[in-house]
Amino acid sequence: MTEPAPTPGPWTFATVESVRPENAHVATLRLRVPDRRAHLPGQHYIVRLTAEDGYSASRSYSVASPPEDAGVVELTVDRLPAGEVSPYLTEDVVAGDEVEVRGPVGGYFVWRGESPLLLVAGGSGVAPVMAMLRSRRLSHPDVPVRLLFSVRAPEELIFATELGPETTVVYTRRTPPAATRPAGRITADDVAAVAFDDGPAYVCGSTGFVEAAATLLAQQGYDRSRIKLERYGSSGS
């Protein structure tokens, strides 16, 4: 299903209200956006950095906060060591800074209250599905929801304090001491344990993770029209 993309707002300078570390390499920027347009859970913003010589670089970042959080937009950024933009956003930006943004963008990977709701995320791909989880908690508490969240190790969890019984964490490299599931990439059994008979599945993460998860969902009976995919880029699991 293709939905019309809502028109994003104009480029504007947002004020950084806070920078909150989520783990050793992921931070959440809380931005106050002037004349902010309400977003749908799953949409993203574009961040543009411009150097003194005029060189600029733009990157997309999903909104992790729910639309109900009026006036602000939270972006959760994973630092890629050799990256142009993510190291600046996670290491250099401090409260009070201004960051140029445009959004919200995207009309496909959005959740409008469809039920039941399956969320599948790898690493920082949890950002847009957290907007869905948070919005569901605030405005659609009767919608059944499950989150399957793949991270490398316990210290890699993002939004750890907000994950409840709806969440199953898959550790790909190292598990917590009490874990019964051995470390490893998501399997058909992991997906079977969270799959619903109907409703959409939203899958977000690195390209490799998204492709693998989509294949497992299809094997589990999710036809293509029920699966929405958001790919962040190369590598990872």
Ligand X SMILES: Cc1cc2nc3c(=O)[nH]c(=O)nc-3n(C[C@H](O)[C@H](O)[C@H](O)COP(=O)(O)OP(=O)(O)OC[C@H]3O[C@@H](n4cnc5c(N)ncnc54)[C@H](O)[C@@H]3O)c2cc1C
Give residues in contact with ligand X (CB under 6 A).
44, 59-62, 76-78, 80, 82-86, 124, 127, 206, 230, 232-236
Output 76 or 172, the one with its CB closest to ligand X: 76
Output 59 or 226, the one with its CB closest to ligand X: 59
Rounded to a whole number of angstroms, the minimum distance from the CB of residue 121 to ligand X is 10
Output 23 or 124, the one with its CB closest to ligand X: 124
CA angle 108, 125, 147 (to 5 degrees): 90
Rounded to a whole number of angstroms, the minimum distance from the CB of residue 189 to ligand X is 26
Output 190 or 230, the one with its CB closest to ligand X: 230
Rounded to a whole number of angstroms, the minimum distance from the CB of residue 83 to ligand X is 2
Rounded to a whole number of angstroms, the minimum distance from the CB of residue 177 to ligand X is 29
Edge to edge, the sheet with strand 98-105 lists: 56-62, 44-50, 98-105, 12-23, 26-32, 72-78
Output 22 or 195, the one with its CB closest to ligand X: 22
| Cα separation, 227 vs 184, whole angstroms | 23
Which residue in the shown chain puts its C-beta closest to ligand X?
A: 83
Output 156 or 230, the one with its CB closest to ligand X: 230
**Radius of gyration over alpha carbons of the chain, in Å?**
17
Rounded to a whole number of angstroms, the minimum distance from the CB of residue 173 to ligand X is 16
Rounded to a whole number of angstroms, the minimum distance from the CB of residue 155 to ligand X is 17
CB 135 within 8 A of CB 141: no
